Structure 1
Amino acid sequence: MNETQTTVRGTVITDPTSRRVGDDQVFTFRVASNSRYLDRQSGEWKTGGTLYFSANCWGRLGQRASGVLCKGDGVILHGRLLTNEYEREGRVMRDLEMRVSALGPDLSRMDVTVRRAKTDENAMEIGSQDLDHPDGEAAEDGELAGVAAP
């Protein structure tokens, strides 16, 4: 098994699923990432090869991603790429998996609303005084760090 850390920009190509493995939740979906290049002769952008892989989000990331992503969404993922080898019907098969450690929407392709997550019930509310607005007012829904939603 070979591993490397990488960041990939792609598209969710399957309906995401969530399942429990022991005490952990894992959120899984397939991703396609296309390479694009400028053909110097024609001056047009062309699509090169496509990388397909399974993305697995474990634990808290899996819980937060569950119900948020849909097939067709543009995403940016960071994590460990692994090549899994197994035998099927006497043939050695390989597939590519990313164990995702960070996941976000591709804002060049999507409009999103962001809300900060609370770490636990007793934690100080993060979206309050001085963190969001220089004048000390709390952010309203749809605002991020002092930037008003369109």
Structure 2
Amino acid sequence: MNETVVCVVGNVATRPVYRELSAGPSARFRLAVTSRYWDREKSAWTDGHTNFFTVWANRQLAVNVAASVEVGQPVVVQGRLKVRSEVREGQQNWASADIDAVAIGHDLARGTALFRRAARPEAPAAVRPEPAWETPLAAGRPEPTWETPSAAASPEPSWETPLAEAPAGDLAQQHPEPAVVT
């Protein structure tokens, strides 16, 4: 419940490591996040401090990360932040910042990407009902027509109400004309 959820934009620093575990697929990679700031003296953007995070992905996200993410690519990662610190033998205090990812995607502000749906493993038809969006005649309804009809096929809609169909009563009282001062 009281988790720190973060959204981080950075570059993939290491090749994703993919593992098949008893709990399901898992993948991890290091993410470099460098702050940028405007240096008034140089009149240019300058790199600031770089933070490194270990990004963990599980299940289908891990499979998709292994197939899609490469070193150097700009990505956006959303997930739960976990900061660990411990003392290792012969070293000073050691700290690690991990992100247990919920979503990972390419940063489209810095390039383009091509999305492909991941293939799902097939389940028996009795166990897995077909979703409504895959059924052409879902619930007995015809499939919608997404094309715009041509102008010749349908008359132009009228947005004005003819006077014959106007509500009863004096139209001038309902909608008085503004007074013009000359």
Smaller-chain TM-score bracket: 0.7 to 0.9
Query: What corresponds to 1:71 in structure 2?
Result: 71
Unaligned runs of 5+ in 1: 137-150
How many positions carry a matched residue from both structures?
A: 134
Pick the structure with greater CA Rg: 2
Query: What are the within-5 Å matches in structure 2 for residues 5-24 of structure 1?
Result: 5-24=5-24
SS at match of 2:69: coil
User: Does structure 2 retain, via aligned residues, the 8 Å contact 1:27–1:63?
Assistant: yes
> What is the CA distance between 1:74 and its match in structure 2?
0.6
Structure 1 residue 3: Cα displacement: 4.9
TM-score by length of 1: 0.75
Distance 2:40 2:3 in 1: 35
- The aligned counterpart of 1:38 is 38
CA contact (8 A) 1:57 1:99 kept: yes
Structure 2 length-normalised TM: 0.63
What's the offset of the Cα at 1:124? Answer: 4.7
Contact 2:16 2:65 in 1 (8 A): no
Per the alignment, residue 101 of structure 2 pairs with: 100
Give the root-mean-square deviation of aligned CA atoms: 3.0
Q: What is the CA-CA distance between 1:68 and the residue it aligns to?
A: 1.1
| Structure in which a larger fraction of residues adopt strand | 1
Matching residue of 1:25: 25
Is the CA contact 1:11–1:33 (under 8 Å) kept in the aligned structure 2?
A: yes
> Cα distance, 1:39 vs. partner?
1.9
Percent identity, aligned pairs only, is 29
**Higher normalized helix content (fraction of residues):** 2
Task: Compare 78-87 and 120-129 and name the one that shifted more.
Answer: 120-129
Displacement after TM superposition at 1:40 (Å): 2.9
Question: Could you tell me whether the CA contact under 8 Å between 1:116 and 1:126 is conserved in 2?
Answer: no
Which residues of structure 2 form unaligned runs of 5+?
123-127, 137-142, 149-182
Q: Which amino acid aligns with 2:147?
A: D
Farther off after superposition, 70-79 or 89-98: 89-98
Deviations 1:94-149 (A, max 9, x none): 11101010110011223211123455536459689789x9439xxxxxxxxxxxxx
2:147 maps to which residue?
A: 135
Counterpart code for 2:21? V
Instruction: Give the aligned partner of residue 81 of structure 1.
Output: 81
Q: Which has the higher contact order (CA 8 A, sep 6+)?
A: 1
